[in-house]
Structure 1
Amino acid sequence: MLHRRREFEQNLHVCPRCNWHGRIGVFQRLEVLLDEESEFEQVGQDLVTGDPLGFKRGELSYGDHLARYRERTGLSEAAIAGRGLVGGRPISLALIDFRFLGASMGTVVGEKVALAIELAEAERIPLLICSCSGGARMQEGMLSLMQMAKTAAALERFGRGGGLYISLMTDPTLAGVTASFASLADVIVAEPGATVGFTGRRLIEQIAKQKLPADAQSAEFMQKRGMIDLVVPRRAQRSTIIGLLELLAPQEKVAAEASA
């Protein structure tokens, strides 16, 4: 068992037998995607999550829950944002971690995604957002839902300026994240077997009064129907992203080489 676990971890948390992709944290994903010599320069590290509703669940306040997840994950929030090098060129990134409150989107998650977009726009570099989420952060009420509009508006400005945006959907990418920034990219990539959709299977079946196909919310199902462009195994994601950058943003590479 220990041998198999070691093999699984060495294979980037992908089963070498069945190709099942396990969830990984944001810093593990950076190791997969960034150049070996690249540092990740974070932005928005000083952002602090508020408690606008004074939300309580039982004896625990929202702040208590946040403190627990910070201790458990070592993260201050579910998202990080910043810049790094992929294929020798600077790129702006936002990454979301499912371990922190199910990667739910609250004000800080939305703000960090917006900061990554604004960084890409200001420095005229490509943008990569690695998404996962179980939905909006109910503890923050309408402020969490507002992040959908905020991130979509930031992407609209970025797109008008000709910026390249690549979205990487990981398991699971659902609800408000799917309905906003995760689906607004020039190229949408997903991990094999990732659950992608808006709402849960049970609710869809209750409303539609019919059973969904077993694979109805899989990345492969969505690719066949045009929602996703590429389904790429984790080991091939870095080379795929480099290829997309070479094809779709060659001018950024020239600029990066000129300034080196």
Structure 2
Amino acid sequence: MTDPEHGANPQEGTPRLIDHLVELRSRLLRAVAGLVLVTLVLLPFGNDLYAWLAAPLLAKLPAGGQLIAVEVASPFFAPVKLAFFAALMISTPWLLYQAWAFVAPGLYQREKRLAVPLLASAVVLFYAGCAFAYFLVLPAVFGFLTRIAPEGVAMMTDISAYLDFVLVIFLAFGASFELPVALVIATLLGWVTPAQLRESRGYAVVGIFIVAAVITPPDVVSQLMLAIPMCLLYEVGILAARWLAPADAATTRD
């Protein structure tokens, strides 16, 4: 029945809501199916993945040094856990695509043009942060820790503890490398302007070093190796925000 005052059927919203819920369910199922498929493919290679992940530590240990399994089930659960997290990282573009396909129809054309490069940049920066941590940070950290080990103390790390440590490092560096994307989003939302970002550069550097000291291991090597790239990424974020900011914000000067 049509509402005489508004000229529309008040029940039209119900089918639309059901359609959205059905679409959401479909996208979630596709996302989960993709993640499960990649996980199943990687499970047989769990031990190989763990050997690859342990290489930065094993390369710095003295001759005969090795990882140990303190818990009985660690040799099984650690590779399985690693395979799942590797599948999650590999599947990230597919998961983001499913989320994008669900929300894209409700966005304006300008929002779509901005969202696609931001999502792509976020994924690339996260991967770059993880690669930076694996190839540069982990060898430096383990080299430092093995050198300062007290005389007579042999480093024999549990495989589960090592996996948790490395995953935290990956997450910390991957998330920290998202700084330019975060600055661009804050600028587009009108929370800050490029001029304000430049004016706050000194405070940002202090905050970056504090964050690096909190989320990295208690050694100055890893703290510097996180803080310095973040300072550079802050400058990149300012340039990107200035380029993508609305005209009134972009023209603001010191």
- TM-score norm. by structure 2 comes to 0.26
Q: Which has the higher contact order (CA 8 A, sep 6+)?
A: 2
Q: Could you say which structure has the larger radius of gyration?
A: 2
Which structure is higher in helix share? Answer: 2
User: Which structure dedicates a bigger proportion of its chain to strand?
Assistant: 1
